[in-house]
Amino acid sequence: MMLEQVSKTKVFGGWLQQFNHQSKVNNCTMRFAIYLPPQAATQKVPVLYWLSGLTCTDENVMQKSGIQRVAAELGIAIVAPDTSPRGSHVADDPEASYDFGLGAGFYVNATQAPFKPHYQMYSYIVDELPALIEAEFNVTQTRSISGHSMGGHGAITIGLKNSLRYQSISAFSPICNPINCPWGQKAFNGYLGADQTSWAEYDSCELIKKTDAKIPMLVDQGCADNFLAEQLQTESLKAAANIKQYPLTLRMQEGYDHSYYFISSFIEDHLRFHAKYLIK
């Protein structure tokens, strides 16, 4: 698969790079960022996949979180894909809202027109992108997954549905119960259609209730997050985990909001959490 390098910058002894490639599942050009720690110059390293939130791209976590410092220390590669397909030929929300269409792929495989030909973000994250990363870079097949907001939803649902592919899961401010919140209902109706039985396959709370997997999970949620009650519904995730006795560590962080200031405050904790399972 052909890679087109967009940028390359040295950070904490490693290399942060951006690439474009032609995605077969999304039928468009996709961009991702990868941070290779200094250890990758001489040995294969494990990978943490980071999924970003609404309106974001691969750049948000790489530019705002400070994630590279600890990744360089621990010897973990970070891969950050885009949040949706892009291009003039890719369907968008006709109302051009921020929470649907371009920049808001919700990490599902769309089944509805006109989104189905391009919005196959679940398959892109689970299958196509890791195959590319493992073929082209000095990394192992040992993976964990994390994300923020819409990306937190993606990280948890993908991790739960693919328990043999990921060692650990973490999230900041995840959309925990999308079948019962306005963001999720809008996205799922548009991408998956009106039949709500298909929605549960992309809902963290519903997946925890029926999973037998016990992948370690860390979730941080800011108590001052404006989206907490209506959109994120963290208490629903906690309740589902309690019923199933799922190994969830949920930390409610007093005073913190939904921003990357919050993420940068606790990103080191998340990397060290994942390192316990990525580095044997």
- Give the tens place of pLDDT for each residue, 177-193: 999 999 999 999 999 99
Element (H, E) at 114: none
Question: Each residue of 2-56: pLDDT tens digit?
Answer: 899 999 999 999 999 999 999 999 999 999 999 999 999 999 999 999 999 999 9
Q: Where are the beta strands (DSSP E) in the chain?
A: 3-11, 14-23, 28-36, 45-51, 77-81, 139-147, 169-172, 217-222, 248-253
End-to-end CA distance of the chain: 31
Residue 111: Cβ within 10 Å count: 14
Share of the chain above pLDDT 70, in %: 100
Domain that holds residue 92: 4-278
- Cα 141 to the center of its chain, rounded Å: 17
According to DSSP, the β-strands at 45-51 and 14-23 are unpaired
Count of domains in the chain?
1
The answer to whether 174 touches 222, Cβ cutoff 8 Å, is no
- Which CATH number characterizes residue 71's domain? 3.40.50.1820
Look-up of token digits 């010897």 = 75
Q: Using CA atoms, how far apart are residues 237 and 206, in angstroms rounded to an integer?
A: 9
161: nearest Cα among 145, 142, 179: 145
Residue 132: Cβ within 10 Å count: 19
Beta bridge partners of 218: 170, 249
Question: Each residue of 217-244: pLDDT tens digit?
Answer: 999 999 999 999 999 999 999 999 999 9
Q: Using CA atoms, how far apart are residues 221 and 65, in angstroms rounded to an integer?
A: 16
- What tokens were used for 116? 């189905």
**For the whole prediction, is pTM greater than 0.95?**
yes
pLDDT bin (cut points 50, 70, 90) of residue 1 is: low
Q: Using CA atoms, how far apart are residues 163 and 212, in angstroms rounded to an integer?
A: 9
Catalytic residues: 149, 225, 258
